[in-house]
Structure 1
Amino acid sequence: MGLKKRYLAIIPILGIISILSIKDPKTTMTNLDDLTVRTNENGQTYGSNLAIESHSMDENGNPDDLDLILVEADNGKTGYVYKEDFYDISNQPKNPEEAVAYMEKLEKSGDRVISVYKKDGKNVIGSYKIGSK
């Protein structure tokens, strides 16, 4: 299946023209069902970050909305990543010194790859690359 692109709009932003495009409409995440927060059989919430009206934070300042966040995997499949993996919650700095060390580590390590799951949060269907640059 080739990657056909449909150009949606040309938007001038601060003097820069941006072209928004999407892949073949059959594989995009524009379905209205994707904007509904649901709960899977394991009690985990899943859906698109676009479905959240106001992002709340937990006591550590981490997003407290969805357990599984909708993404498109590197293989083109639509699935979900764990919030903890997406935001790298376990490695977030707690002070300025840790923040500097964390940023230096990200610059050296390059891309971070996390697993993409079906809505059950168990079955891996692909991977998702998070770039540091």
Structure 2
Amino acid sequence: METEVARPKVAVVVFVVKGNLVLLGRRRSSIGHSTFALPGGHLEFGESFEGCAAREVMEETGLEIEKMKLLTVTNNVFKELPKPSHYVTVFMRATLVDPIQAPENLEPEKCDGWDWYDWLNLPTPLFWPLEKMVKSGFDPFL
């Protein structure tokens, strides 16, 4: 019987921005449960970063995004969890096609809901990869 080799996965997450606000949701997951995180998910085979960003934001929030830009990539290894994991995370920035559209919680089993937060007054606790970026001085608006 062969054992599966652990391999890194690729996640695409999106800073959906509106003015100085960023969209965050509280996670309901074995990884980062009850922390605030950006919308996003797994990159699918053959998918572009922009395509994944648009699909994941639409699936999770019902929001249509545009003006997507690659911001940075991070390497995140989660060792302490019941199931250790390794993610290469692609961070994108995007704006709303319709600035007055409100986010919906389309995956309530994965998220407690979405809201807009001032970048200089973010809720806590933040999902570890996002918290690490914030503490480093990263600014998604630049």
TM-score range, shorter chain: under 0.3
Query: Which has a greater percent of helix?
Result: 1
Query: Which has a greater percent of strand?
Result: 2
- Give the TM-score normalised by structure 2: 0.24
Q: Max radius of gyration: which structure?
A: 1
Of the two structures, which has the highest relative contact order with CA contacts closer than 8 Å and spacing of 6 or more?
2
